[in-house]
């Protein structure tokens, strides 16, 4: 079995699975609780869930990959989401995203080596007049330039 970040929590994970052992219909609930516990759903967690619930790994993976809520990669402390909706796009969002990737040394969907920031790109956040917009966790920041976006992230260092 591959190593993962969650060995200390493995016992708790087994309790979650045991509570639904042999119940394929509990998959979403088990995935949700497991992600709450571990923070993400690496392959070995998916294998354990598949075995416990009586499903194939591909059945589990298809649900994990279908729902945006589930992630197979560890998330950073701060979720940085740059809006790439049409209004933000034409006002310069791609340059912001590119600059953040360069400065943080990571790509969209990935997390910085220090575990602080995960960069995401999202569709319209519903505040187009403030574009370009990004959110850091739930807080929105608007009328950004690449420089101001970086300045904002420094507040979270």
Q: Which residues bind ligand FES (CB under 6 A)?
A: 83, 85-88, 124-128, 131, 133
**Based on CB atoms, which residue is closest to ligand FES, 49 or 84?**
84
128 annotated to bind ligand: yes
Q: Residue of minimal CB distance from ligand FES?
A: 85
Question: Least Å distance between CB 128 and ligand FES?
Answer: 3
Give the Cα separation of 64 and 157 in Å (integer).
31
Of 124 and 150, the one with the shorter C-beta distance to ligand FES is: 124
Instruction: Tell me whether residue 30 or residue 96 sits nearer to ligand FES (CB atom).
Output: 96
Binding residues for [2Fe-2S] cluster: 83, 88, 124, 128
Binding residues: 83, 88, 124, 128
């Amino acid at each position: 079995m591959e190593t993962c970040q969650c060995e200390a929590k493995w016992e708790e994970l087994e309790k979650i699975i045991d509570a639904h052992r042999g119940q394929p219909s509990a998959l979403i609930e088990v995935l949700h609780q497991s992600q709450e516990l571990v923070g993400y759903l690496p392959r070995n967690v998916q294998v354990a869930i598949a075995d416990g619930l009586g499903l194939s790994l591909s059945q589990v993976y298809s649900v994990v990959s279908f729902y945006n809520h589930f992630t197979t990669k560890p998330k950073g402390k701060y979720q940085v989401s740059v809006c790439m909706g049409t209004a933000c796009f034409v006002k310069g969002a791609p340059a912001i995203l590119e600059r953040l990737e360069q400065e943080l040394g990571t790509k969209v969907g990935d997390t910085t080596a220090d575990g602080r920031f995960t960069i995401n790109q999202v569709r319209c956040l519903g505040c187009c007049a403030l574009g370009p917009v990004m959110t850091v966790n739930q807080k929105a920041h608007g009328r950004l330039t690449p420089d101001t976006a970086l300045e904002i992230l420094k507040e979270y260092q």
